[in-house]
């Protein structure tokens, strides 16, 4: 199955998004979700059956448009064009709404003077025709409501536009009929002229247009995180070509190009420093405020800012493969995804519009039968239709998800999906890997105990030669220890990594093994001679590893890792949130317990194999615990996938990052607690939005239907007030979602 993200055009409410989903998902071999706030469709499909053109055809038949590849510049331009178009239409509507209101209601409400030829008593026909003349441009400005709304009624997929079209259209048609009666029956022209609803038809369109413009502007603010990230991407770069400095477009860069970065300039793409030294501001990517020193051999990240030194670096990742591009992609996917909480709103929206249309018809008929007259019945009918548009309901969840994931990205917390953002606040247990997660992950060789007739440097040469191509941090420490002593490494044969045990290789016909007690036991190697040394080293917080040659123990290698400065504070923050911390590691028990004690973790599960890590997580889940796993290595990936929420350290392996739901770019464990706090704030915000959206409709529809007016002598809701209330409800939900921008990472 291929997965793609496309842009959907022409949507106006939750019912629109559901209509597109329904049209696509009823086809076999394709699965889609549509996000109203981002106007994105995430679709998985069978490549043998579908391509973009076929999917677009399905969407277009449902009444909407589909765009394939839209660049960020194109997105910005489309958004600006949309805003400009909406603004122009609103200006046109307002220009003609003012005289329409003045003519139709000025004499009633304000006693304002009206030209004698437009006097409703002396010249009722002129009075009616003038309103018709002024309402036509307004209807033209809001023509999209009528075109899309009516089409969707015939498609049996009514939406917000359908409600507006029916409400405003009913007022317009009734008024036109009354005007015709006034023309053909001059004797009763005054009576017909007083039954006009042109102002309702026009002002509804104007107010809804105003609401949609405000909504569009506010939605633009919710995606500011994406815009900030995109703004980090430089347009040009300087490269060295044939010894000469040359400026090229960023799109022209190739892997292997030598790129120049001078003080104050943005790093163009990801790479490795080959000349010079500097400090780099990576705060916009990682949230880390302090500049990071970069020397030859260090990695630099595209989008970061070179502070005070000139450097040259070799481009290693370009285009979509850079860290910044990957971050943007992850944020976009997260913002376009649906949280489980949105399903309730989707279900409601699915049936909401048809139900509202039914309520409106029942309301109108009931008032007419009760003897209130056609004009009054029509007013109630229109008010119900207009006030009940489900815009707020459709925006309640996705806007909060957009702002929440964006806020996370701004602070170095990449949340891959709306579901991950929603579920994180439920975490009660966090399971931590040790090496590279709680500790720095760059251990150093501290001790080498030799047994038998062997020289230490000889054994260190063999050990480093075997470990030379291993990616494990402990292996790197051994290799570095040998290189520090200028020991030349040998070539090996038949290398084999044994996950959870150690490694095995052959050098000069000798079988070398380095690993834990399980590895020795597997080969029935006697390790009794090393027991005392092993205990002493373990109690010192060091990690001892056994070394054997041809099934004979020859040495005990000890490596120590440094605890990250923020690890203890991170655990303290979790404890304050009422979250339990557990360490899960393949390291020996004594070393693990020593490290755990230093950071404040009380529960330790040690000497576990990679597949056992996921089993341990599963055991916790079986106790009805909501578990997060935090890790950085390949061996952590099964546990990350098994956990309710997998959290990967940003400097970890690609496999771990791929398996995780959340990525901590700053490599700071304090962000685990920050992610939980952000999730809680987002869910609270969503619940507020949903409450007000539901409350608005629960309260608004009965009022619009005239319940208060009929039984309690309360107010009668004018259609124009209903239009204002509907627009305000959508904007209020968006403004509430924007409050998440005030969330601060502590």
What distance in Å separates the CA atoms of residue 464 and residue 559, rounded to the nearest whole number?
A: 13
Structure tokens belonging to residue 653: 């392996």
* Alpha-carbon torsion, ordered 315, 321, 323, 329, to 10 deg: 160
Q: Which residues contact 521 (CB under 8 A, 6 or more apart)?
A: none
- Give the β-pairing of 580-584 and 552-560: unpaired
* Locus of tokens 């009354």: 178
129: CB partners within 8 A, 6+ apart: 179
**Cα 73 from chain centroid (whole Å):** 20
Question: Among residues 46, 41, 43, 81, which one has the least CA distance to residue 64?
Answer: 41
Give the phi and the psi of residue 732 in degrees, each rounded to 5: -65, -40
Phi, psi (degrees; rounded to nearest 5) at 667: 60, 30
Tokens of 217: 């502007």
CA distance 237 to 246: 8
Q: Which of 551, 538, 561 is nearest to 449 (CA)?
A: 538
Question: In this structure, what DSSP letter does residue 627 have?
Answer: E
Does residue 607 sit in helix, strand or coil? coil
Q: Tokens in use for 272?
A: 């490795």
- Point out which residues pair with 645 in neighbouring strands: 628
Whether 106 contacts 172, CB under 8 Å: no
Question: Annotated catalytic residue: which of 281, 433, 636, 671?
Answer: 433
| DSSP run (H or E) holding 312 | strand 311-317
Strand 645-649 to 662-664 pairing: parallel
Distance CA 56, CA 220 (A): 25
What's the CA gap between 496 and 504, in Å, rounded? 5
Terminal Cα-to-Cα distance of the chain (whole angstroms): 41
Distance (Å, whole) CA 563 – CA 566: 8
Query: CA 345 to CA 686: how far, in whole Å?
Result: 11
Pairing of strands 311-317, 502-507: unpaired
394 within 8 A of 349, measured Cβ to Cβ: yes
Angle at 173 between CA 169 and CA 174, to 5 degrees: 115
- Tell me whether residue 433 is one of the annotated catalytic residues: yes
Please state, in angstroms and rounded to a whole number, the distance separating the CA atoms of residues 565 and 668: 9
Cα gap 649→142, rounded to integer Å:
51
Q: 224: which 2 tokens?
A: 């500011």
- DSSP β-ladder status, 2-9 and 65-67: antiparallel
Give the list of residues 6+ apart from residue 381 with CB closer than 8 angstroms, or none: 167, 170, 360, 361, 363, 364, 367
Alpha-carbon distances of 309 from 263, 285, 304, rounded to whole Å: 5, 20, 14
- Separation of alpha carbons 698 and 544, rounded Å: 67
What positions carry a catalytic annotation? 433
């Amino acid at each position: 199955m291929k997965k793609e993200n496309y842009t959907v055009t022409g949507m106006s409410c939750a019912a629109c998004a559901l209509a597109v989903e329904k049209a696509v998902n009823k086809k076999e071999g394709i699965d889609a979700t549509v996000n109203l706030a981002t106007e994105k469709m995430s679709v998985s499909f069978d490549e043998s059956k579908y391509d973009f053109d076929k999917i677009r055809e399905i969407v277009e038949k449902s009444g909407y448009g589909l765009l394939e590849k839209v660049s960020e510049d194109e997105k910005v331009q489309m958004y600006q064009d949309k805003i400009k178009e909406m603004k122009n239409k609103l200006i046109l509507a307002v220009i003609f709404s003012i005289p329409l209101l003045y003519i139709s209601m000025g004499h009633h409400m304000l006693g304002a003077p009206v030209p004698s030829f437009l006097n409703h008593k002396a010249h009722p026909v002129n009075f009616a025709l003038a309103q018709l003349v002024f309402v036509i441009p307004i209807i033209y400005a809001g023509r999209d409501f009528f075109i899309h709304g009516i089409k969707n009624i015939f498609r049996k997929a009514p939406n917000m536009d359908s409600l507006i079209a029916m409400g405003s259209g009913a007022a317009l048609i009734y008024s036109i009929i009354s005007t015709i009666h006034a023309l053909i029956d001059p004797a009763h022209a005054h009576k017909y002229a007083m039954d006009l609803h042109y102002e309702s038809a026009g002002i509804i369109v104007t107010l809804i247009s105003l609401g949609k413009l405000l909504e569009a502007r506010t939605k633009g603010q919710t995606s500011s995180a994406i815009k900030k990230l995109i703004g980090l991407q430089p347009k040009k770069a300087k490269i060295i070509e044939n010894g000469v400095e040359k400026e090229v477009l960023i799109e022209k860069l190739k892997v292997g190009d030598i790129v120049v970065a001078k003080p104050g300039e943005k790093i163009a793409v990801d790479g490795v420093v080959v000349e010079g030294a500097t400090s780099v501001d990576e705060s916009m990517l990682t949230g880390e405020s302090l500049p990071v020193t970069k020397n030859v051999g260090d990695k630099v990240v595209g989008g970061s800012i070179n502070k005070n030194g000139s450097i040259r670096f070799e481009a290693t990742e370009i285009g979509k493969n850079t860290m910044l591009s990957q971050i943007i992609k992850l944020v976009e996917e997260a913002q376009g995804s649906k949280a489980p909480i949105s399903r309730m709103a989707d279900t409601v929206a699915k049936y909401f519009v048809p139900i509202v249309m039914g309520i409106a018809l029942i309301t109108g008929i009931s008032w007419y039968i009760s003897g209130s007259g056609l004009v009054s019945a029509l007013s109630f009918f229109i008010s119900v239709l207009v006030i009940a548009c489900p815009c707020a309901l459709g925006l309640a969840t996705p806007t909060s998800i957009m702002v929440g994931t964006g806020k996370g990205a701004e602070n170095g917390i990449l949340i891959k999906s709306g579901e991950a953002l929603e579920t994180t606040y439920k975490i009660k247990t966090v399971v931590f890997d040790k090496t590279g997660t709680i500790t720095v992950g760059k251990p150093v060789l501290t001790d080498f105990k030799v047994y038998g007739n062997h020289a230490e440097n000889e054994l260190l040469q063999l050990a480093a030669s075997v470990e030379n191509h291993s990616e494990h941090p402990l292996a790197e420490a051994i290799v570095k220890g040998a290189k520090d002593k200028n020991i030349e490494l040998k070539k090996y044969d038949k290398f084999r990594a044994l996950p959870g045990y150690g490694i095995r290789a052959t050098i000069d016909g000798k079988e070398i093994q380095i690993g834990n007690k399980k590895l020795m036991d597997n080969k029935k190697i006697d390790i009794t001679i090393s027991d005392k040394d092993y205990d002493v080293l373990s109690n010192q917080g060091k990690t001892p590893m056994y070394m054997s040659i041809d099934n004979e123990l020859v040495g005990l290698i000890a490596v120590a890792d440094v605890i990250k400065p923020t690890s203890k504070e991170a655990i303290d923050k979790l404890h304050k949130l009422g979250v339990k911390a557990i360490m899960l590691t393949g390291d020996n028990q004594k070393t693990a317990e020593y490290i755990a004690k230093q950071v404040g973790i009380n529960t330790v599960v040690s000497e576990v194999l990679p597949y056992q890590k996921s089993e341990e997580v599963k055991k916790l889940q079986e106790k009805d615990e909501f578990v997060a796993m935090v890790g950085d290595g390949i061996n952590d990936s099964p546990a990350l996938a098994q956990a309710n929420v997998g959290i990967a350290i940003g400097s970890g392996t690609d496999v771990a990052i791929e398996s995780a739901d959340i990525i901590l770019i700053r490599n700071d464990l304090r962000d685990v607690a920050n992610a939980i706090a952000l999730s809680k704030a987002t869910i609270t915000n969503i619940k507020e939005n949903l409450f007000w959206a539901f409350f608005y409709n629960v309260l608004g529809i009965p009022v619009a239907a005239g319940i208060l007016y009929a039984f309690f002598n309360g107010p009668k809701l004018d259609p124009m007030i209903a239009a204002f209330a509907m627009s305000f409800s959508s904007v209020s939900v968006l403004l509430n979602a924007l409050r998440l921008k005030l969330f601060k990472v502590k």
